[in-house]
Amino acid sequence: MARVVLENLVKTFPAAGNSAAFTAVKGINLTVEEGEFMVLVGPSGCGKSTTLRMIAGLEEVSSGSIRIGDQVVNGVLPKDRDIAMVFQNYALYPHMSVYENLAFGLKLRRLPKSEIAARVQAAADLLGLADLLERKPKALSGGQRQRVAVGRAIVRRPKVFLFDEPLSNLDAKMRVQMRTEIARLHARLGATMIYVTHDQVEAMTMGDRICVMKEGQILQVAEPLELYQRPANLFVAGFIGSPPMNFLRGAVVRSDNRRDFVADGGVGALRLALPARLAEPARALEGRAAVLGVRPEQVQLVAEGAPGGHPCTVELAEPMGAETFLHLRSAAGVFIARVEAGVTHRQGSRVCAAFELERAHLFDAASEIRLT
Ligand X SMILES: Nc1ncnc2c1ncn2[C@@H]1O[C@H](COP(=O)(O)OP(=O)(O)OP(=O)(O)O)[C@@H](O)[C@H]1O
List Cβ neighbours of 174 (8 Å cut-off, separation of 6 or more): 142, 143, 146, 167
Counts of helices then strands in the chain (DSSP H, E): 9, 20
Task: Work out whether 83 is an interface residue with other proteins (CB under 8 A).
Answer: yes
Task: Work out whether 61 is an interface residue with other proteins (CB under 8 A).
Answer: no
Q: Which of 179, 198, 310, 327 contacts ligand X by CB under 6 A? A: 198
Task: Work out whether 44 is an interface residue with ligand X (CB under 6 A).
Answer: yes
> Is 82 in a helix, a strand, or coil?
coil
Task: Work out whether 94 is an interface residue with other proteins (CB under 8 A).
Answer: yes
φ/ψ bin of 157: left (φ > 0), alpha (ψ from -120 to 50), beta (otherwise): left
Task: Work out whether 248 is an interface residue with other proteins (CB under 8 A).
Answer: no
Q: Which is nearer to other proteins, 138 or 346 (CB)?
A: 138
Question: 31-60: which residues touch other proteins (CB under 8 A)?
Answer: 56, 58
Q: Select the span of 2-10, 45-53, 174-182, 305-313 touching ligand X (CB under 6 A).
A: 45-53
Task: Work out whether 166 is an interface residue with ligand X (CB under 6 A).
Answer: no
**Of 371, 30, 84, 25, nearest in space to 211 by CA:** 30
CA distance 232 to 239: 11
Task: Work out whether 246 is an interface residue with Mg ion (CB under 5 A).
Answer: no
Number of residues engaging Mg ion in binding (CB under 5 A): 1
Residue 45 CB, shortest distance to ligand X, in Å, is: 4
Q: Which of 8, 95, 223, 343 contacts other proteins by CB under 8 A? A: 95
Cis-peptide into 243, omega within 30 deg:
yes
Instruction: Specify the amino acid at residue 89.
Output: N
Chain-centre distance of CA 94, in angstroms? 31
Buried-exposed string 191-201: b where 16+ CB fall within 10 A, e elsewhere: bbbbbbbbbbe
Q: Which sign does the torsion angle of CA 53, 56, 58, 64 carry?
A: positive
The binding track of 48-87 with respect to Mg ion, each residue x by CB under 5 A or -, is -x--------------------------------------
φ/ψ bin of 343: left (φ > 0), alpha (ψ from -120 to 50), beta (otherwise): beta
Q: Which of 119, 147, 152, 159 contacts other proteins by CB under 8 A? A: 152
**Site residues for Mg ion per CB under 5 A:** 49
- Contact residues: other proteins, CB under 8 A: 56, 58, 77-79, 83-85, 87, 89, 91-95, 104-105, 108-109, 152, 156
Residues of this chain that bind ligand X (CB under 6 A): 13, 22, 24, 42, 44-50, 198
